[in-house]
């Protein structure tokens, strides 16, 4: 099993190309189920989760082809993929596929809208909370679906097609907003989604669906209106740059010091997080090329943060911020409000010498002057990269085990960091 070896102490200097966002690419890929024409997606990252979803879509009859590297970029960080779901051959998403990645459950919306039926296993994925599917089920019922749970599968039927309706989310859900927006695009009549998620990935999907012929307005606000259409066509659409990857590398620079240009990053996608990183002591400078992050000389300042839905501080950057705060000059408080089990990295950071205590959903981090390298174990995608951030500044050698978690969401992380001077390498076997 692969692991990553880091020798800490090097500043980061250079440029890091920001990949397409995993959290945007996955729903865009799933949207290919809504049309029998070809959907072409540019800037698709090469990640384990993307490859897994390609296999899941293939189970439903989606063909795909890959166009290699962008002409303007020779490093192979981006791909153009063409998806064609001319015929849906199977409306069942089996447990052995869905259990490996939670987002694959989202196929339920397009399958139901396109074929009138879907049988999708209850999902798996990272063990960072229960994340129930009740919002998906209730929302689809509001569009006229008949749904039952049968032996671990959600069985949804709409033999006469879905009908427009109104659904108010009892709490903000990015995944359920994705699914209902896709399903409502082919429903008969108008649908209004209230208390909808506002994340940039929602807007990216709405823009793609509109390019396919959907009629969606209000994406990026709390109220989204969808006027159903009879059919969608093919389109070409670009995946937005990954705001979580952007924030992660910005925190790595803040942790180690140095000067790095995050190429292609968009500051409008993570303004709150950039403000927090700035308060921690880094200089953030948006440019035409992306975002320049520097920290030279000044120490790391403690911060207090509560995770919130967009445009608040993202839960997907909480672990990375905790890694950064382990060496802040003072006490930091980080409160997690989105997922109930997202502090599993605390124990591993403590192995490096971090001083962290938990009080309910709040982590109190007492900054230390020095971390010391040690073997650590990744517990989930974002937790794993927090260990990398800490290891970059720790004295001596840190080995991160179970890095398959990293490969789910970070494209060539060790290569990008090593190009900027980090002593980091992947060890196979």
**How far apart, in Å, are the Cα atoms of 143 and each of 169, 187, 425?**
14, 8, 50
23 is in an annotated binding site: yes
Instruction: State the catalytic residue, choosing from 4, 31, 93, 126.
Output: 126
Is 316 marked as binding a ligand? yes
Q: Comparing C-alpha atoms, which of 395, 285, 270 is closest to residue 320?
A: 270
The phi, psi pair for 267, rounded to 5°, reads -65, -25
Question: Taken in order 381, 171, 96, 54, is the CA torsion positive or negative?
Answer: negative
Is 205 annotated in some ligand binding site? no
Q: Provide the strand spans (E) within 23-122.
A: 38-44, 63-66, 79-84, 92-93, 117-121
Phi, psi of 314, deg, nearest 5: -75, 140
Transcribe 9-27 into DSSP letters.
-PPEEEEEEPPBPHHHHHH
**C-beta separation of 250 from 284 below 8 A:** yes
Alpha-carbon torsion 13, 19, 22, 23, what sign? positive
338 is in an annotated binding site: yes
Bridge partners, residue 149, by sequence: 154
**Is 63 annotated as a binding-site member?**
no
Whether 208 sits among the annotated catalytic residues: the reply is: no
Q: How far apart are CA 395 and CA 9, in angstroms?
A: 6
Residue 133, marked binder: yes
> According to the annotation, is 172 in a ligand binding site?
yes
The answer to whether 171 is annotated as binding is: yes
**Nearest residue to 377 via CA among 357, 414, 406:** 406
The angle subtended at Cα 208 by Cα 207 and Cα 209, nearest 5°, is 95
Q: Is 50 annotated as a binding residue?
A: no
380: annotated binding-site residue? no
Q: What angle do CA 232, 268, 362 make, to 5 degrees?
A: 105
Give the DSSP H/E element, type plus range, for residue 392.
Answer: helix 381-393
**Alpha-carbon distance 374 to 351, whole Å?**
7
Binding residues for phosphoenolpyruvate: 22-23
Binding residues for UDP-N-acetyl-alpha-D-glucosamine: 102, 131-135, 171-174, 316, 338
Q: Active-site residues: which are they?
A: 126
Binding residues: 22-23, 102, 131-135, 171-174, 316, 338
């Amino acid at each position: 099993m692969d692991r990553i070896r880091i020798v800490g102490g090097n500043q980061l200097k250079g440029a890091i190309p920001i990949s397409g966002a995993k959290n945007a690419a996955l729903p865009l890929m799933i949207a290919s189920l809504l049309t029998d024409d070809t959907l072409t997606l540019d800037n698709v990252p090469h990640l384990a989760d993307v490859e897994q979803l390609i296999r899941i879509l293939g189970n439903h009859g989606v063909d795909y082809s890959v166009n290699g590297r962008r002409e303007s970029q020779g490093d192979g960080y981006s791909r153009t993929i063409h998806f064609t779901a001319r015929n849906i051959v199977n409306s069942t998403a089996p447990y052995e596929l869905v259990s490996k990645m939670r987002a694959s459950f989202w196929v339920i919306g397009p399958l139901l809208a396109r074929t009138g039926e879907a049988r999708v296993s209850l999902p798996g994925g990272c063990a960072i909370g229960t994340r129930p599917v009740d919002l998906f089920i209730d929302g689809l019922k509001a569009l006229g679906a008949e749904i039952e749970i049968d032996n671990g599968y959600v069985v949804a039927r709409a033999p006469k097609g879905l009908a427009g309706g109104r659904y108010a989310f009892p709490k903000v859900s990015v995944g359920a907003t994705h699914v209902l927006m896709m399903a409502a695009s082919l429903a008969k009549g108008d649908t209004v989604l209230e208390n909808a998620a506002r994340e940039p990935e929602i807007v990216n999907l709405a823009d793609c669906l509109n390019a396919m012929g959907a009629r969606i307005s209000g994406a990026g606000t709390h109220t989204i209106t969808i006027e159903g259409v009879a059919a969608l066509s093919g389109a070409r659409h670009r995946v937005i740059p990954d705001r979580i990857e952007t924030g992660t590398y910005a925190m790595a620079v803040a942790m180690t010091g140095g000067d790095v240009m995050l190429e292609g990053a968009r500051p409008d996608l993570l303004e709150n997080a950039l403000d927090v990183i700035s308060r921690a002591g880094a200089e953030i400078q948006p440019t035409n090329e992306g975002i320049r992050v520097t920290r030279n000389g000044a120490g790391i300042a403690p911060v207090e943060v509560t995770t919130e839905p967009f445009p608040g501080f993202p839960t997907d950057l909480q672990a990375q911020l905790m890694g950064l705060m382990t060496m802040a000059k003072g006490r930091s408080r980080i409160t997690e409000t989105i997922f109930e089990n997202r502090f599993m990295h605390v124990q591993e950071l403590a192995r490096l010498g971090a001083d962290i205590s938990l009080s309910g959903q709040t982590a109190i981090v007492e900054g230390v002057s020095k971390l010391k390298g040690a073997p650590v174990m990744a517990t989930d995608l974002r937790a794993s990269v927090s260990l990398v951030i800490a290891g970059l500044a720790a004295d001596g050698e840190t080995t991160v085990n179970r890095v398959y978690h990293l490969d789910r969401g970070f494209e060539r992380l060790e290569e990008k960091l090593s190009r900027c001077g980090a002593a980091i390498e992947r060890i196979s076997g």
